[in-house]
C-alpha cells in the first residue's frame, strides 16, 4: 500500500494512505500497530481521509521503517 507524508514537524508525522478512506477494521489495525510501537506517544487515525498522525520520540527513520513494514506486510487492503 502506498502512502505519502502530508506534513511533518519535529516528532510528529502525518501521512495519507493511498486509498479514499479506511474501513473501521483498517483504522483499528493501524492505530493498534503504532500505539504499541516503541517511541510512539500518540496515534490519531482519520478514516474519512485515509490519514494518520503519529507523535513520537526518538528516531524518525525508525518510524518510517515501521510504516513501510506495516503497510506492506500487515495490512492487506
Domain that holds residue 57: 3-74
Reported as a single tens digit per residue, the pLDDT across 55-70 is 999 889 988 998 888 8
What is the pLDDT, as a whole number, of residue 23? 86
CATH code of the domain in which 59 resides? 3.30.70.100
Number of domains, the chain = 1
* Mean pLDDT of the region 45-64: 92
% the chain with pLDDT above 70: 92
CB 66 within 8 A of CB 56: no
Residues 30 and 36 sit within 8 Å (Cβ to Cβ) = no
Amino acid at each position: 500500500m502506498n502512502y505519502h507524508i502530508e506534513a511533518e514537524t519535529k516528532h510528529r508525522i502525518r501521512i495519507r494512505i493511498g486509498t479514499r478512506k479506511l474501513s473501521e477494521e483498517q483504522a483499528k489495525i493501524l492505530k493498534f500497530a503504532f500505539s504499541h510501537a516503541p517511541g510512539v506517544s500518540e496515534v490519531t487515525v482519520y478514516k474519512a481521509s485515509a490519514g494518520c498522525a503519529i507523535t513520537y520520540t526518538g528516531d524518525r527513520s525508525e518510524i518510517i521503517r515501521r510504516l513501510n513494514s506495516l503497510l506492506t506486510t500487515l495490512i492487506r487492503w
